[in-house]
Amino acid sequence: MTDPIQDTVNAVIEQLDVTQLAALSGGASFWETKTVPGVPSFAMSDGPHGLRKQEGDAADHLGLGASVPATCFPPAVSLGQSWDLELAERVGAALAAESQAQGVDVLLGPGINIKRDPRCGRNFEYLSEDPFLTGLLATAWVNGLQSGGVGASLKHFAANNAEFDRMRLSSDVDARPLHEIYLRAFETVIRDAQPWTVMCSYNRINGILASQNRWLLTDVLREQWGFAGAVISDWGAVADRVAAVDAGLDLQMPGDTAASDTAVVAAVEAGTLPVAAVERAARAVARTALLAQQSRREVTVDYDAHHALAREIAGRSIVLVKNDADLLPLDPSGRIAVIGPFATEPRYQGGGSSHVRPTRLDIPLDQIRAAAPGAQVTNSIGFTTDGDSDQTDLRAEAAELAAAADVAILFLGLAEHQESEGFDRDDIELPAAQLALLEAVSAVQPRTVVIISAGGVLRLAPVDEAAGAILSGGLLGQAGGSAIADVLFGTVNPSARLTETVPVRLQDAPSYLHFHGEHSRVRYGEGLFVGYRGYDARDVEVLYPFGHGLSYTTFSYEQLDVEHSENGLQVTVVVRNTGAVPGREIVQVYATKPDSAVIRPPQELVGVGTIDLKPGEAGAVHISVRRQDLAYWNDQLSRWVVEDGSYRIGVAKSSRDTQIVGEVTIVGDDVRTPFTADSTIGEVMAHPAAAAVAMAAFGSMMPQEGAGAELGMDVMKMMASMPLGRVIGGADEASAQHLQALLGGINAAVLA
C-alpha cells in the first residue's frame, strides 16, 4: 500500500541540495521548524496535561514566560491513578482540539519515563512505576491526540529517571532492565500508536548521549520497533549536531541552528557524514511537516466542556487510601473545619516546562461550601509553606476550629518550590510544620480527613497513624477543587489506584542506594526490581502497595477462567458489588513464572480491566493478556522470549491483595542456542537431548551419587559448574578434536 505523503516527501527531497537538506534538521525558532521549497514549517508546544503555547519573546522551555489560557487537565501523576484508558484517550482528543485552535501541530508529550525513585523531581509528569501500565495509558493518550490531527512527541527517550545533573548524567543500565523496564513502554506506544515524533532525552545511556546514541535511535527505535516518524531533541540536548544526525537524530531544537547547519554541510563535503543520514533526517522532518499541514482543521473549543472533563478525570484520579470506620463520604451538614493553605491556593500542577495557564481554577474551600450548603464550614490556614515563621499560633487556631467541628479536612502536601522539573527531592518527608499541625488537629478531632497534594510519593506513615481517612490526589489540575468535593461528599465514588508504591520509609525503596550516583554516572543497581517488583522480591513491608485504592462500596471476586491461545491469554473473572452503593472496580492481573530459568520478579502486572456495578450486581470482566507481556528479554539472543511451562495468574485488587488465582500452561518460544567449550556440565545436563549425547561420551567420568561426602562436599554440584573445555579439552590436538566432536554431536541433537 502506497503512502501519498511519503511519495510527496521523496519527490521533494530529490529536488533539495545538501544545504537545504541540512536546514530541515535544525529549528527555525524556539517552537517552529524551517521551511524549504516544498516543505512547510510546523509548530510545536509543551504539554502534556495542557497546552503551554508561548508567543513572541515569552518563549522558553522552563515555564518562565506566560502562555495562552488552556485547560489544565490532571497531570500524569493523577491521570495514571485513574487506570482508565478511555479517559486517557479523551484527554488526548481534548488536547488536540485546543492545539488545533492555537495552530499547534505537535504537542510535546506524553512523558512516559518510569518512576524509578520517589525523589525524582519530574515524577509528576510520568504515569507509573510499572512499564506495562505506562504503555497502556500512553498509547490511549497518543491515539486520542493524533485522532484529532495533532502529533505526539513521546518523551524522554530514554532512561531519564532523575533531574539531577540531567544534561550530563549517564544512566548505566544492564540489558534486561533497560528493555523490560525502561524501554518497554516506549516500545508499546511505538508499535501500537506510531506517534509522529519521539523526543530524545538530555542524559547519556551507558555512557553515550541519547542524541548521539545510534543503538538507541537507529538500531532499536527504527530497525527493531519500526518507528516511522521523526526523532527530535529535547530543547538544548544536542552537543554535536553532526554526530547526532549520523546516529539517528532528525531535528535539533530549539532554533537558531545556523552554525550547526553549516557544520552538517561541511561534514558531508568532507566525507565524515554520509549524505544519506542528512537525507534521512530531512525526509523525517518533511514528512512530519506535510502530515501536520494535511491534518490542520478549524476547531472551536468548548472550554466549559473541557473543564467538565477535567473535573471528571480528577474525580476518577483521587485514591481513597484509608477510610477507617467509613468516615467518608461526609454528611453535607453539620460543622466542617477546612484547614491548610492548599484549600484556598491549591497545588494543582507541577513546575517547569509543563506549567499551564488554566482557563479557570476551582478552589477546594469554595467547592466544599457549594457542595454542602447546609453545613457550617470554617477555615484556617494552619501552616505556611515558606517554613520561616513561627507557626505555633496558626496551629493553635486550627486545632481550636477542629475541636469545635464534627470533622476536620486537612490539606497537606508540597508547595511548588519543594518539587519541580530541574531538581530532585532530598527526601520524601512532609514538612515538619505540617506534621506538627496534623498532630495538633488529630489530638482534638479523631474525625480527621487528610487530602494529599503532591507530585511524588511522600512518607505517609505519620499521616496513616493520625488520620481517620486519607485521599491522595497527586496534582489534580484546574478542576481538582470541585473533584475533591465530589469525592468527599460521595457524588463520585472513588475508584482510583496508586501507580507507585508508598514505602514505610525512603530507605526501603529498591533504588535507595543507587540514586543519584556520582561523577555524572548513576548505576541502576536494583536491576529489574523497580517499584513493587523490588519490594516483593525482598518481602519488604510497604505502607500502601502499588495498585491500592479503596471504595465506598465493596467487591468480591467469585470465578476465574484463564484460556490460552497462540496470541496470549484470555482472563475472565466474575466480580460482584457486595456493598450498598454503585461503584467501579479496577481489576488487576499479575503473572508469575515460579520455575523460571532466569531471574524474574515474583509477579508482574500483565492485564487491567474495569467494571461498573450497582449494589448486588455481578458481571464478567474480560481481560486479554498479550503473549509478549509474558516474555523476558533474553540478553544472549537480544530478543524477547516466552518461557515454556506453567504460569500462575493472580487477579488482584493491588500487588499485595490477590483475590483469586489460576494456572495455565503455555507453549514457549523455540530457544535453541549452540553449546560451546565454555558451557558448563550443569547446563549440558539440564538439556535432555544434550545430556543424552554427553552421557554417552563421558558418562564413565561422572562421579557416583554421594561421592565426596566424606570430605563434606557434593562432587556432582561442584562438577556442574565446570565448563566442558576444562573437563574434556586439553593442550594437545587430540583433546581439542575430541571436544569439538562432542560439541558437534551435542549441537546436532539440540538444534535438530
Q: Is 390 exposed, middle or buried (0-12, 13-18, 19+ CB in 10 A)?
A: exposed
Residue 451 in contact with residue 487, Cβ under 8 Å?
Answer: no
Q: What is the mean pLDDT of residues 489-517?
A: 97
Give the per-residue pLDDT at 67: 86
Helices (H), 588-660: none
3-class DSSP assignment, residue 35: coil
Q: Is 393 exposed, middle or buried (0-12, 13-18, 19+ CB in 10 A)?
A: exposed
**DSSP letters spanning 541-581:** -EEE-TT--B-SS-EEEEEEEEEEETTEEEEEEEEEE-SSS
Helices (H), 318-431: 364-371, 392-404
10 Å Cβ neighbour count for 673? 12
| Contacts of residue 373, Cβ cutoff 8 Å, sequence gap at least 6 | 332
Among the listed ranges 439-443, 489-493, 562-566, which one has the minimum average pLDDT value?
562-566
Residue 35 in contact with residue 41, Cβ under 8 Å?
Answer: yes
Stronger pLDDT, 539 or 703, i.e. the higher one: 539
**Domain 17-52+72-295 belongs to what topology?**
TIM Barrel (3.20.20)
pLDDT-based confidence at residue 643 (cuts at 50, 70, 90): very high
10 Å Cβ neighbour count for 458? 24
User: E strands of 311-390, at which residues?
Assistant: 319-323, 333-339, 374-380
Furthest-apart CA pair in the chain: how many Å? Answer: 97
Residue 64 pLDDT greater than 70, yes or no: no
Residue 155 in contact with residue 186, Cβ under 8 Å?
Answer: no
Q: Where in the chain is CATH 2.60.40.10?
A: 555-666
Residues 204-254: tens digit of each pLDDT: 999 999 999 999 999 999 999 999 999 999 999 999 999 999 999 999 999
Give the per-residue pLDDT at 574: 98
pLDDT-based confidence at residue 701 (cuts at 50, 70, 90): low
Q: What are phi and psi of 85, to 5 degrees?
A: -70, -35
Which of 427-457 are b and which e, b meaning 16 or more Cβ less than 10 Å from the residue's Cβ? ebebbebbbbbbebbbebbebbbbbbbbbbb
Q: What HEC string does 243-265 produce?
A: HHHHHCCCEECCCCCHHHHHHHH
Our answer to whether residue 508 is catalytic in this structure is no
Q: What is the mean pLDDT of residues 594-618?
A: 97
Give the per-residue pLDDT at 734: 80
10 Å Cβ neighbour count for 342? 27
Closest C-alpha to 455, from 434, 435, 429, 473: 473
The correct answer on CATH 3.40.50.1700 for the domain covering 309-500 is yes
User: 503 - beta bridge partners?
Assistant: 542
Which of 290-325 are b and which e, b meaning 16 or more Cβ less than 10 Å from the residue's Cβ? bbbeebeeebebebeebbebbbbbbbbbbbbbbbee
Measured CA to CA in angstroms, residue 684 lies from 235, 353, 358, 737 at distances of 52, 55, 65, 19
Kindly state the cell numbers that stand for 322. 484509608
Q: What is the mean pLDDT of residues 644-653?
A: 97
Residue 699 pLDDT greater than 80, yes or no: no
Which of 701-727 are b and which e, b meaning 16 or more Cβ less than 10 Å from the residue's Cβ? eeeeeeeeeeeeeebbeebeeebbbee
Helices (H), 272-375: 275-295, 303-317, 364-371
User: E strands of 109-189, at which residues?
Assistant: 151-157, 170-172
Q: Where in the chain is CATH 3.20.20.300?
A: 17-52+72-295
Q: What is the mean pLDDT of residues 551-558?
A: 98
Please name the residue that has the C-alpha cell 544534561: 167
Among the listed ranges 76-80, 604-608, 734-738, which one has the minimum average pLDDT value?
734-738
Give the per-residue pLDDT at 351: 85
Residue 409 pLDDT greater than 90, yes or no: yes
Stronger pLDDT, 235 or 694, i.e. the higher one: 235
In angstroms, the CA 684 to CA 679 distance is 7
Give the per-residue pLDDT at 584: 98
CA 211 vs. chain centroid, Å, equals: 21
Measured CA to CA in angstroms, residue 509 lies from 172, 203, 588 at distances of 19, 23, 23
Residue 22 pLDDT greater than 80, yes or no: yes
Q: What is the mean pLDDT of residues 515-544?
A: 96
Residue 527 in contact with residue 174, Cβ under 8 Å?
Answer: yes
Q: Of 165, 234, 424, 536, which residue is the catalytic one?
A: 234
In angstroms, the CA 115 to CA 454 distance is 14
Q: Which CATH class is domain 555-666?
A: mainly beta
Q: What is the mean pLDDT of residues 406-427?
A: 94
In angstroms, the CA 647 to CA 652 distance is 16
Kindly state the cell numbers that stand for 730. 586439553
Paired sense of beta strands 555-565 and 568-577, if any: antiparallel
In angstroms, the CA 685 to CA 694 distance is 8
Q: What are phi and psi of 661, to 5 degrees?
A: -130, 140
In angstroms, the CA 82 to CA 494 distance is 10
Radius of gyration of the chain (CA): 29
Q: What are phi and psi of 252, to 5 degrees?
A: -90, 130
Residues 166-210: tens digit of each pLDDT: 999 999 999 999 999 999 999 999 999 999 999 999 999 999 999
Average pLDDT along the chain: 94
Q: Is 206 exposed, middle or buried (0-12, 13-18, 19+ CB in 10 A)?
A: middle
pLDDT-based confidence at residue 559 (cuts at 50, 70, 90): very high
Give the per-residue pLDDT at 700: 57
Residue 425 in contact with residue 418, Cβ under 8 Å?
Answer: yes
| Contacts of residue 44, Cβ cutoff 8 Å, sequence gap at least 6 | 31, 32, 104, 105, 106, 107, 108, 153, 232, 253
In angstroms, the CA 455 to CA 434 distance is 17
| Half-sphere exposure of residue 643: CA atoms within 13 angstroms, side-chain side | 19
Please name the residue that has the C-alpha cell 525558532: 29
In angstroms, the CA 188 to CA 211 distance is 21
Q: What are phi and psi of 503, to 5 degrees?
A: -80, 160
Stronger pLDDT, 715 or 221, i.e. the higher one: 221
Residues 117-159: tens digit of each pLDDT: 999 999 999 999 999 999 999 999 999 999 999 999 999 999 9
pLDDT-based confidence at residue 696 (cuts at 50, 70, 90): confident
pLDDT-based confidence at residue 714 (cuts at 50, 70, 90): low
Rounded (5°) CA angle 655-477-543: 25
